[in-house]
A and B are shown apart, each in its own frame.
Chain A
Amino acid sequence: MALIFFFLYFPIGVLVVFSFNASRINATWQGFTLDWYRQLFHDFAIWAATSNSLIVGVASAAISTVIGTMAAFALHRYSFRGKAAFESLLQLPIVIPEIVMGGSLLAFFVLIEMPLGLHTVTIAHVAFNISFVTVVVRARLYAFDFTLEEAAMDLGANRWQTFFKVTLPLIAPGVAAGFLIALTLSLDDFIIAFFTAGPGANTLPMQVYSMMRFGVTPKVNALSTLMLAVVILIGVVGQFIFRGRKETPVPEEEIHPVPRGFEVYAKAGSDRARVPVGAVGARSSPDAQHLQLG
């Protein structure tokens, strides 16, 4: 296992280390420097690309979250003719190779003579994000207890009030998750943006690609390290938020202390452990224990 971890992180490590390397060629260590980061900071093209990525990302995530949430609702609550067909349609953007989608959208935009720019990238991103948002929100809806809505309506709320005061707050985490996924996918996307962006509408991945292809300076390393750091930061922060939200599961042993010798039964799965283990201790006959746990 350690081997695989090494395999996974070695290249990344090299990248990070060399971003501080004072050598242009990047093969031997020649001294610590922050020069590459400084050059990065002054690179206008990169700032432009980053802001482009953010604009496209937020816009496409917002639009697709709205559309996707509506679709998730429709799919979850109603059954109607053509539902299966629509669900298959929704799965298509997830499975289709990005390059095919990119090429087809390029052909489409040129055919309708729409000039390529950030807006075309946004349109393209919304197109594939809808599916992902729908999947995420739908998963959340699945766990949503619709009787709460009924309760609200029983208490006199009309449909709109129910939706805004009961449903929406409860599915908000799911919707937020959908938004974040859409944002991440949009920021990370290279191929589709590559095909649908116009001149001067570079997104960050596009800029990174051209730097990798043509530039030779370790500026790329510095940029990569920064991107890595951002991702790691978001990940770690996200973990802490999640752990703060859910109640930390109290180990079963604390609720029901297991008498020595019976740990094997309590370990067998949380639903099994719900058995009043104290009672198990009182019975010594194996048959009775078996009955108790059955």
Chain B
Amino acid sequence: MATSQTLARQGALNVSDVQRPRSVGAHLLLLPAYLWLGIFFLLPLVIIVYYSLTVRTPLGGSEAVFTLEHYARLWDPLYARIFWRSLWLAVATTVITILMAYPFAYALARTPQRWKNLLLLLSVIPFWTNFLVRTYAWMVILRSNGLVNTALMSLGLIEQPLPLLFTPGSVLLGLVYGFLPFMILPIYAAIDRLEPSLLEAAADLGARPWQTFWRVTLPLTAPGIAAGVLLVFVPALGMFIIPDLMGGAKVTLIGNLIQNQFLSARNWQFGSAASVVLMALVVLGLRLYKRFFRLEGVF
């Protein structure tokens, strides 16, 4: 019985010439990528870390004086509240989208083949549509002379238009609406890959539908949920468009703060500090995600 090792030793089985590592070719191919990412991605990040740690001159430039004042300023309740609100909204968005996306994805995966492709396409189209456009749609509906208010007033139910827009609730709505397709797709992919025979086996062994779901389906589709969480939570933290359009100046999130500091207030040092903290939060989130994901494998 010849193993691959003996065959290799005898020379009958050769490692492909193409796969022998040849570093020079690799580095040459990678050079443009190295350069571009190094100069236009890493270097700017280093620059803002530098900015976040230096003193601001009255003209907006940076003196080469090391200081932690910008980070200290972030502890101010005004700003701390912004971070806390962003975190809380991101978590809420993630949880709500999971609750909405899972049943939807499940139903989608179970539809008969005839309709499946069509429905899948329909589910994906909002995903391709611009964030701005989708958010604006809700603005049209919710603003004081918008659809909901006009309808309610014409029905005589309210006297004054309800302030539906520019509240944390409307920002949450905008976030959920924006990120829902991002959650639906990975969960759907995971459910779709589920082998029906496993569910049948569980039923054969005496599990009732609820038990089958809880102990077989859910753990097996958990990677899909995890992927969705990654796609929703991280971007939601740094979101700027949605809180800006749906929240106005009343609901400020980290993204708005950074944008404000960089473009309006021209306090790049402070904006950089906020950016660094945001990045730290993202990295933390990713670490947690990795740990959670590996725990799921234990199931």
Residues of A within 8 A of B (CB): 1, 4-5, 7-9, 11-12, 14-15, 18, 25-28, 66-68, 70-71, 73-75, 77-81, 83, 86, 89-90, 92-93, 95-108, 111, 123-124, 126-128, 130, 134, 146-147, 149-150, 184, 188, 190-191, 194-195, 205, 208-209, 212-213, 220-221, 224, 227-228, 231-232, 234-236, 239, 267-269
The SS class assigned to the B binding surface is helix
A11-B130 contact, Cβ under 8 Å, with A67-B32, A108-B44: no
Additional A-B contact list (19), CB under 8 Å, known A80-B23, A208-B132: A1-B108, A4-B103, A11-B137, A27-B145, A71-B33, A74-B27, A78-B23, A93-B37, A97-B238, A99-B238, A100-B238, A127-B37, A130-B36, A150-B16, A209-B132, A213-B244, A232-B125, A234-B128, A267-B196
Measured CB to CB, the nearest residue on chain A to B271 is A103
Task: Check: B22 CB closer than 8 A to any chain A CB.
Answer: yes
Contact B36 A126 (CB under 8 A): yes
Contact B258 A100 (CB under 8 A): yes
Cβ-defined partner of B33 (8 Å) among A67, A79, A191: A67
Measured CB to CB, the nearest residue on chain A to B151 is A27
Contact A134 B19 (CB under 8 A): no
A74-B30 contact, Cβ under 8 Å, with A99-B255, A190-B132: yes
CB of B27 to closest CB in A, whole Å = 7
Task: Check: B237 CB closer than 8 A to any chain A CB.
Answer: yes
CB of A50 to closest CB in B, whole Å = 13
Q: Which residues of chain A are within 8 angstroms of B18 by Cβ–Cβ distance?
A: 77, 146, 149-150
Contact A14 B141 (CB under 8 A): yes
Task: Check: B133 CB closer than 8 A to any chain A CB.
Answer: yes
Task: Check: B140 CB closer than 8 A to any chain A CB.
Answer: yes
Tally A-B pairs: CB < 8 A. 236
**Which chain B residues numbered 17 to 54 have a C-beta less than 8 Å away from chain A?**
17-19, 21-23, 25-27, 29-30, 32-34, 36-37, 40-45, 47-48, 51
| Contacts A/B (CB < 8 Å), 18 sampled | A12-B134, A14-B140, A70-B33, A77-B26, A81-B23, A86-B30, A86-B33, A103-B48, A104-B47, A104-B272, A107-B51, A124-B40, A126-B36, A188-B131, A209-B132, A212-B139, A227-B133, A269-B197
A12-B129 contact, Cβ under 8 Å, with A97-B234, A99-B255, A267-B196: yes
CB of B287 to closest CB in A, whole Å = 12
Contact A70 B47 (CB under 8 A): no
Q: Interface size of B by Cβ–Cβ distance < 8 Å?
A: 85
Task: Check: B259 CB closer than 8 A to any chain A CB.
Answer: yes
Cβ-defined partner of A104 (8 Å) among B25, B44, B141: B44
CB of B19 to closest CB in A, whole Å = 7
Task: Check: B79 CB closer than 8 A to any chain A CB.
Answer: no
Cβ-defined partner of B40 (8 Å) among A27, A73, A92, A123: A123
Which of A5, A81, A96, A128 has most B Cβ within 10 Å? A96
Measured CB to CB, the nearest residue on chain B to A26 is B140
Contact A231 B125 (CB under 8 A): yes
Task: Check: B298 CB closer than 8 A to any chain A CB.
Answer: no
A111-B47 contact, Cβ under 8 Å, with A224-B137, A267-B196, A269-B197: yes
CB of B286 to closest CB in A, whole Å = 7
Q: Which residues of chain A are within 8 angstroms of B268 by Cβ–Cβ distance?
A: 103, 107
A127-B40 contact, Cβ under 8 Å, with A9-B126, A103-B258: yes
Cβ-defined partner of A191 (8 Å) among B19, B241, B279, B282: B241
Task: Check: B263 CB closer than 8 A to any chain A CB.
Answer: yes
Q: Which residues of chain B are within 8 angstroms of A234 by Cβ–Cβ distance?
A: 128
Contact B19 A146 (CB under 8 A): yes
Measured CB to CB, the nearest residue on chain B to A25 is B145
Cβ-defined partner of A80 (8 Å) among B21, B48, B271: B21
Contact B23 A5 (CB under 8 A): no
Measured CB to CB, the nearest residue on chain B to A153 is B17
A15-B136 contact, Cβ under 8 Å, with A71-B29, A77-B19: yes
Contact A105 B44 (CB under 8 A): yes
**Which chain B residues numbered 152 to 175 have a C-beta less than 8 Å away from chain A?**
154
Contact A268 B145 (CB under 8 A): no
Measured CB to CB, the nearest residue on chain A to B174 is A11
Q: Which residues of chain B are within 8 angstroms of A93 by Cβ–Cβ distance?
A: 37, 41
Q: Which residues of chain A are within 8 angstroms of B121 by Cβ–Cβ distance?
A: 235-236, 239
CB of B250 to closest CB in A, whole Å = 15
CA distance A209 to B128 in the complex (A): 17
Contact B132 A89 (CB under 8 A): no
